Structure 1
Amino acid sequence: MRVFSDAQVQEVLPWKALISGLKETFAKGISLPLRTAHTVPVPGEPDASFLAMPAWEVGGKLAVKMLYIVPGNSVRGLPTINATVLVFDAVTGQVQAAMEGGELTARRTAATSALAASMMARKDARSLLIVGAGKIASNLIPAHRTVRDYDEIKIWARRPEQAQALADQFDDNVTAVSDLDAALPHADVVAAATFTKDPLIKGALLKDGAHLDLVGGYTTEMREADNEAIRRAAGHIIVETFEGARAEAGDITQPLKDGAITEADIAGDLAGLCQGKVQARTDDSQITFFKSVGAALEDFVAARMVTESQTQTEDQ
């Protein structure tokens, strides 16, 4: 069994190849049960979450990721997502690899976001607004740059110093902003990665033709955009998976409960989009919306790439 550190995982998951692998596997499909999730109370701060996410390809590999997500770690200067991934031979059950899951989670999440944007955002999208400044947000920038040529990228975070620190890691086209409401009307693509339970993104401020990408919320209590944002995207909504969205996506379940949208307003899932069976955008004036909560298929694709990189190295 080979053990991979976060640094090694990052090295063997280039954006273009990862996005391509995700598209191919979403279109093909693998065995993907709904993940197991447990709430773990933490005294004096937001609850933590423990999750187990398996996925497998019959006759191929099985990957399972175990996560412990601690929102309170943001004020400690520690990672909020702590994860480990194991890869098994799905026929013999032998463990082939173990790897740190922090970098894998961040990269596969951002790559899935960029994959959706590659098929949903306007072809001439030139401005990207990142909402949040954590690990996922830092990966959203290079991932989205892989699928669109952005002239400007803005970053907003609750703590302006975090937004500025993230912007400083990139070139001059990436800058921090302090007023989210002022930035929203100018963004062709809005990608949010936060743990908020109170919607930050106001639908009334979105420009016609914008693409909205929400990747932060992973429970029914969490949401990043208000009902107006979802209502304006009605008919042009793509979810990562129907099962995950209905069970865990507050940005879907709450607007459905409120009557802001109906099930019929969800155009399809990412598999259907990758297969060409559904189309999210038919003209440049429509607002499109992608909601993900994290699917084990994405961990499977990334973990398989990491594991196979070991085999390729040994064969050289």
Structure 2
Amino acid sequence: MRVLILNQAEVSRLLPMAECMEVMADVLKALARGEAILPLRPVMWLPERVGALAMMPAYLRNLDIMGLKAISVFPGNLGTEFDSHQGAVLLFETKHGQLLAIMDASSITAIRTAAVSGVATQLLARKDARDLAILGSGVQAQTHLEAMLLARKIARVRVWSRDPDHAQFFAQGQSQRHRITVEPMRSAPEAVTGADIICTTTSAREPVLLREWIAPGSHINAVGASTPFTRELDTPTVVNAQLFVDRRESALIAGACNRRPGRSTSHI
């Protein structure tokens, strides 16, 4: 049995954002048609919730492929040499259950998550959306900037981080990378006021985005609050928003949706 092994750099090279957005659009359609199996992920939390281990199995019928992502999540790694998300993706064929590939999960997670936000932005944001705000300055902030630049003709980018030095470093690096001016802002309200598109990419446990700051008709990609213990949006934002999710069952356990009265959501 031959097994393909891809490291972080190889995954990044072989999975460009534009292609990943196309793939994710197709996969989301397959999921909506019932052509995929995607169980809720089991999560094991460490004492005092300093970190977690999550396991995410899935099956795609039209490719006769099944896989599993096992990933550790350590928010305290932000700003260090270690990724906050580390792990591996295992890929199997479904005729005999043979292992086909083992791939680094850090790059896949970073690219795939932003690619889904990119697809959502293409479908849901106003066509004339040009002003982008990013809350957070980590890996997801980087990949979301890349996805947003593909989804819309962005003319202005503002970034805010709880650590001003991180925001400054992000702005300098991403300005050079994408040849667009990224403005580091001193506060979250300054970053989002008047923005057409807002991406929240933090590990916050308390809201970092308040309803009173948000312009009417803004599109929000809220990706950081993926557990009941994290929260990026305040209750008025969630209550007054029209929510679109990739999977209702997963969204209902997330930090924002589990605080929404009535919990009414729509699928993309």
Structures share a fold, TM > 0.5?
A: yes
Is contact 2:140-2:201 (8 Å) kept?
yes
Give the distance between the partners of 2:81 and 2:69, measured in 1 at CA. 23
Tell me the residue number matched to 1:162.
166
Aligned to 1:77: 81
Unaligned runs of 5+ in 1: 257-261, 274-316
Alignment of 1:30-49 (within 5 A): 30-41=36-47, 46-49=49-52
Q: Which residue of 1 aligns with 2:263?
A: 263
Unaligned regions of 5+ residues in structure 2, if any? Answer: none
Scaled by the length of structure 1, the TM-score of the pair is 0.78
Query: Deviation of residue 75 (structure 1)?
Result: 5.1
Give the residue type in structure 1 aligned to 2:98.
Answer: Q
Q: Which residue of 2 aligns with 1:4?
A: 6
Q: Paired residue for 1:238?
A: 244
* Residues 218-256 of structure 1: CA deviation (Å, up to 9, x unaligned): 1112110111111221xx21122111012x211010123
The root-mean-square deviation of aligned C-alpha atoms, in Å, is 1.4
1:135 aligns with 2:139: yes
Letter in 1 for 2:237: A
Q: Distance in 2 between matches of 1:170 and 1:158?
A: 18
| Alignment pair present for 1:223 and 2:231 | yes
Q: Could you tell me whether the CA contact under 8 Å between 1:220 and 1:254 is conserved in 2?
A: no
Letter in 2 for 1:3: I
Query: What residue in structure 2 maps to residue 276 of structure 1?
Result: none
Deviation string, structure 1 residues 172-193 (Cα, Å, up to 9, x no partner): 4212111211222221011011
- Seq. identity, %: 27
Aligned-partner residue type, residue 225 of structure 1: L
Equivalents in 2 of 1:251, 1:24: separation in Å?
A: 26
Equivalents in 2 of 1:73, 1:61: separation in Å? 33
Residue 190 of structure 2, aligned match among 182, 195, 215: 182
**Alignment partner, residue 50 of structure 1:** 53
| SS of the residue 1:204 aligns to | helix
* Deviation beyond 3 Å, 4+ runs, structure 1: none
**AA paired with 1:15?**
M
What letter corresponds to residue 23 of structure 1 in structure 2?
A: A
Q: Is the 8 A contact 2:79 2:138 kept in 1?
A: no
1:13-42, Cα deviation, whole Å (9 max, x unpaired): 122211111111111221111111111126
Counterpart among 209, 213, 232 of residue 217 in structure 2: 209
For the residue of structure 2 that corresponds to 1:19, the secondary structure is helix
The whole-number CA distance in structure 1 between the counterparts of 2:80 and 2:10 is 25
**8 A contact 1:40–1:49 mirrored in 2:** yes
Q: 1:77 to 1:65 in 2, by over 3 A?
A: same
C-alpha deviation, 1:90, in angstroms = 1.4
How far apart in 2 are the matches of 1:72 and 1:167? Answer: 22
The aligned residue for residue 312 of structure 1 is none
Distance in 1, Cα, partners of 2:11 & 2:95: 25
The answer on 1:252 being equivalent to 2:257 is: yes
State TM-score, norm by structure 2.
Answer: 0.92
* Cα separation, 2, equivalents of 1:181 and 1:10: 33
Alpha-carbon distance between aligned partners in 2 of 1:51 and 1:189, rounded to the nearest angstrom: 29
Is the partner of 1:195 in helix, strand or coil? coil
Deviations 1:235-290 (Å, cap 9, x if unpaired)? Answer: x21122111012x211010123xxxxx234x2x12xxx2xxxxxxxxxxxxxxxxx
Which gives a bigger RCO, structure 1 or 2 (Cα 8 Å, sep 6+)?
Answer: 1
C-alpha change, 1:75 and 1:170, in structure 2 (3 Å) is closer
- Indicate yes or no: 2:129 matched with 1:125: yes
Please name the residue that 1:19 is paired with. Answer: 21
Aligned length in residues: 257
Counterpart CA distance in 2 for 1:195 and 1:230 is 17
